[in-house]
């Protein structure tokens, strides 16, 4: 898990220092999610950030008619979270689920 995230950081952060990258890598732990696993459930506050090493995930909400509306599809080598919920520490209507491993 560390290699894809490390490569992602070095590719996108100009003049990244090794100790800074290591500090970031230290806060992540590898965790396997099966297809269809909820990473974040609606009307909850999320406190963590993920990095999708392989597979894909979908962010969606359910409208007042009960229909799922996809907000975003994430592919491998992207961060996974509900940024608004993390930033505000408030509940959000988004669900995030793994769609393909």
pLDDT in tens, 46-95: 988 999 999 999 999 999 999 999 999 999 999 999 989 999 999 999 99
Contacts of 50 (CB under 8 A, 6+ apart): 31, 39, 79, 80, 81
Which residues are CB-neighbours of 77 under 8 A, at least 6 positions away? 4, 8, 51, 52, 53
Q: What is the pLDDT of residue 2?
A: 77
The whole model's pTM is what?
0.82
How would residue 101 be classed by pLDDT, with cut points 50, 70 and 90?
low
Domain boundaries, the chain: 1-30, 34-100
Question: What is 34-100's CATH number?
Answer: 2.60.120.10
Gap between the Cα atoms of 93 and 67, Å rounded:
13
What's the confidence (pLDDT) of residue 13? 92
Identify the pLDDT of residue 100. Answer: 74
Segment 6-17 mean pLDDT: 93
């Amino acid at each position: 898990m560390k290699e894809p995230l490390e490569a992602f950081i070095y590719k996108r952060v100009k003049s990244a220092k090794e100790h800074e990258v290591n500090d970031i890598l230290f806060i992540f732990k590898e965790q396997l999610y099966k297809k269809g696993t909820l990473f974040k459930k609606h009307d909850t506050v999320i406190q963590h950030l993920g990095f999708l090493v392989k597979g894909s995930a979908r962010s969606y909400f359910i409208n007042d008619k009960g229909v799922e509306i996809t907000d975003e599809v994430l592919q491998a080598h992207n961060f996974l979270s509900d940024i608004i919920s993390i930033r505000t520490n408030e509940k959000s209507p988004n669900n995030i689920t793994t769609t393909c491993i």
